[in-house]
Structure 1
Amino acid sequence: MHLPENKQQLLTQIANDLQKVEGVAAIVLGGSYAAGMASDQSDLDIGIYYHADKPYSIEDIRSTVARYAVSPATVTGFYEWGPWVNGGAWTMTTAGKVDFLYRNIQQVQETIDKALRGVWENHFEQQPPYGFSSVIYLAEVNICRPLYDPAGVLAAWKEMVSVYPPALKETIIRESLWSADFTLWQTAGFAEKQDVYNTVGCLARAMKNIMAALFAINERYPLGDKRVMAQLQGAGKLPVDLQEKVEAALCVSRATITANVERLKALHQEVVQLSDGLYKPLYQL
């Protein structure tokens, strides 16, 4: 990780201020800087963890954010963004944009515990384009750089997620590839009728499922849908020319709509072959 000096100074100052806020249990640097994928335009992403039974005051967070804002900042209450991206703030500072993300320690712990048992979920309405996967919590823990963790919460979590849970891998591969299989089965009928609305929706849905399976096959936690190809870079089990195949399947016109479905079916079969037998369709379609 390399932070420009002005951003490092800002991060240190903000972390020091947040430590003084009652109810702040841990602070981390997350996002592209923690993941090693930052560019000159990348935001600083700061995670602020709290215990559900004794959360910090939103007004205290608002006051902290205001110290660094050079234009009006947006600060939300808890869970105003939805059940997974459960609140935060964003503001412009002298060193660039900074995002603050609230994280409920109990919710993250429960999500990790479920993942170890092979339980996960994707909340489609949470955010565009494909929703929020519960596995993102594990990704955040895995890549984050703790700035303040007096109780060792993040240290313990990092140990828990350091090895990709075998049960989670099996579940995601099985469920995601079946969902893509079933979706593509229906997509062919929509394409034959030149039903663009439903065909394109199915193509995007099935592609999301295929990508989720690829992350699990390679035992990588997705950080979200941004820069998925960069997140998968260097993975050992990928279809040849993956990005080209993804783009070819999703670049749709009325003239190509049937061919798009066939391209995605072929990509699905490639990923099935990469699953080492972990995928078996639920039914014969």
Structure 2
Amino acid sequence: MEMHLQEKHAMLNDLTSAFKEVPGIAAIVLGGSHAAGYANEQSDLDIGLYYFEKTPFDIERIRDIANRFSKDGLPLVTGYYEWGPWVNGGAWIHTAIGKVDFIYRNIDQVQQTITDALNGSWHHHFDQQPPYGFRSVIYLGETQVCKPLFDPVNVIQQLKAQVTPYPAKLKATILSDCLWLSEFTFMQCYAFANVADTYNTLGCFTRIAHYLTHALFAINEAYPLGDKRAMQHIAAFKQAPLHMTTRLNNILGHAGTQAHELIASTDLLKTIWQEIVALTEGRYQPRFQPGTV
């Protein structure tokens, strides 16, 4: 294990040295699980390549580096924004030490996203990636945990300084959005459950679970890095319903198909929502009163 980590560290140094020579790369960071501190021997190396919108780097230079370090076929290297508006490009390569990902990041877009968050605004792009899409707060999480490898003009440090402490306006927006949208979805969910419409009832369940996940991250003033380890983080939060992840797994895994089963499962999920609302200590208020929607 230790030897493998040393090999990854050597690969990281070699890649960083290569990227430093590419005009337009303003900063290089280590991201993902290695930066966040929960990597294992199988974890990919995630390398963030930051650029200013007006002076982007040449993709062919990135392709040359990917080809040089690839040991298993031609690597996948994309242009800008080929993967979507948020995961805005990069490369997947298989190297001598395992899988390495290059991830492009537009500094101007990251800065605008942080500015929006400070003003209480966040964004969601459902089709960006499974299962729940991309929430813009992930940029703030990436910024907070990433480890600068090359930052000659301190752009990464300047971004980092803006994401701590957790923005109060962002917290208020996320709690209002997620807890109200959960409440609204429950209204539809009971209607589906009453007629044993499993497809739509379970769709409501996962939608609500997604909202509640982001509400809990906001309550605990933590930024998510994605959906992959969200339940592990929630299990460690100081403020969360007791046995939240176990209860949620049981609801999603044993929802039933009959109307009475689906209604009972909806009731259990609503209990979790009520417990999360209680954690806001009165800060959450529904947008509409019962009977108006």
Q: Within 1, Cα distance between the matches of 2:216 and 2:48? A: 27
TM-score (norm 1): 0.97
Partner of 1:210: 212
Contact 2:235 2:244 in 1 (8 A): no
Q: CA deviation at 1:213?
A: 0.3
Q: Do residues 275 (structure 1) and 291 (structure 2) align?
A: no
For 1:191, the equivalent position in structure 2 comes to 193
Structure 2 letter corresponding to 1:132? F
Structure 1 unmatched runs, 5+: none
Query: Which one of the candidate residues 230, 241, 244 is aligned to 1:242?
Result: 244
| Alpha-carbon distance in structure 2 between the residues aligned to 1:231 and 1:147 | 26
Deviation at 1:233, TM superposition (A): 4.7
1:8 counterpart letter in structure 2:
H
- Distance across 2 between alignment mates of 1:172 and 1:195: 29
Cα offset, 1:148, TM superposition? 0.4
Write out aligned runs for 1:1-285 (5 A): 4-71=5-72, 72-251=74-253, 252-255=255-258, 256-285=261-290
The one-letter code matched in structure 2 to 1:246 is: L
Amino acid at match of 1:276: E
Any idea what the Cα deviations from partners look like across 1:170-218, whole Å, max 9, x if unmatched? 1001111001110011101101111111111111001100000000000
Q: How far does residue 9 in structure 1 lie from its aligned partner after superposition?
A: 0.3
The answer to whether the Cα contact below 8 Å between 1:248 and 1:260 also exists between their aligned partners in 2 is no
Aligned equivalents of 1:125, 1:264: Cα separation in 2: 26
1: CA distance, partners of 2:198 / 2:285: 30
* Higher deviation after alignment, 104-113 or 273-282: 273-282
**Percent same amino acid among aligned pairs?**
48
CA contact (8 A) 2:234 2:245 kept: no
The aligned amino acid for 1:17 is A
Cα distance in 1 between the residues matched to 2:11 and 2:54 = 30
SS of residue in 2 equivalent to 1:103 = strand
Query: Whole-Å Cα distance in 2 between the matches of residues 175 and 14 of structure 1?
Result: 41
TM-superposed deviation, 1:235: 2.1
Q: CA RMSD in A?
A: 1.2
TM (normalized to structure 2)?
0.94
Q: 1:85 to 1:232 in 2, by over 3 A?
A: same
CA distance in 2 between partners of 1:232 and 1:267 (Å): 13
Runs (4 or more) in structure 1 with deviation over 3 Å come to none
Q: Which moved more, 1:2-11 or 1:78-87?
A: 2-11
8 Å Cα contact 1:123/1:133 also seen in 2? yes
Separation in structure 2 between the aligned mates of residue 94 and residue 260 of structure 1, nearest angstrom = 48
